Amino acid sequence: MTANKKRILFVDDELGVLQGLERMLFEMADEWDMDFVDGAEKALAELSSRPFDVTISDMRMPGMDGATLLSHVHDEHPNVVRIILTGHSELEATLRAMPVAHSFLTKPCKPSTLEEV
């Protein structure tokens, strides 16, 4: 990893979605150091083990949802940029995530959109 690479943590409970993101973002590997984890608890463990610049999380996950995860990230790692990437837009969950997410993106999301954000 070079010093100017952004460290990005992708979180989703569906392995197929994570594998798709990894394939889709392969060309960004020169600019981004990316980790992909299946679940919020694993994400919190990764965030505690090394620094990240950005956390991108799905909203709907079993156990801890994306809004709750980003709330923990907000409290424990306030300098990490927090993004929701979801295919669902439930009002209650969106309202809970608004104070702790910097941005909301919808699936599917183009690599250029992620890069821009």
Which residues of the chain fall short of a pLDDT of 70? 1-3, 88-90
Q: pLDDT at position 57, please? A: 95
Q: pLDDT at position 18, please? A: 94
Residue labelled with tokens 């150091």: 33
Which residues on adjacent β-strands are paired with residue 56? 10, 83
All residues at 6 or more sequence positions from 16 whose CB lies less than 8 Å from its CB, including other chains? none
Between CA 100 and CA 18 the distance in angstroms is 22
Q: pLDDT at position 115, please? A: 86
Q: pLDDT at position 98, please? A: 84
pTM score, whole prediction: 0.90
Q: pLDDT at position 112, please? A: 86
All residues at 6 or more sequence positions from 60 whose CB lies less than 8 Å from its CB, including other chains? 13, 66, 86, 88, 90, 93
| Tens digits of residue pLDDT in 37-69 | 999 999 999 999 999 999 999 998 999 999 999
Q: pLDDT at position 44, please? A: 97
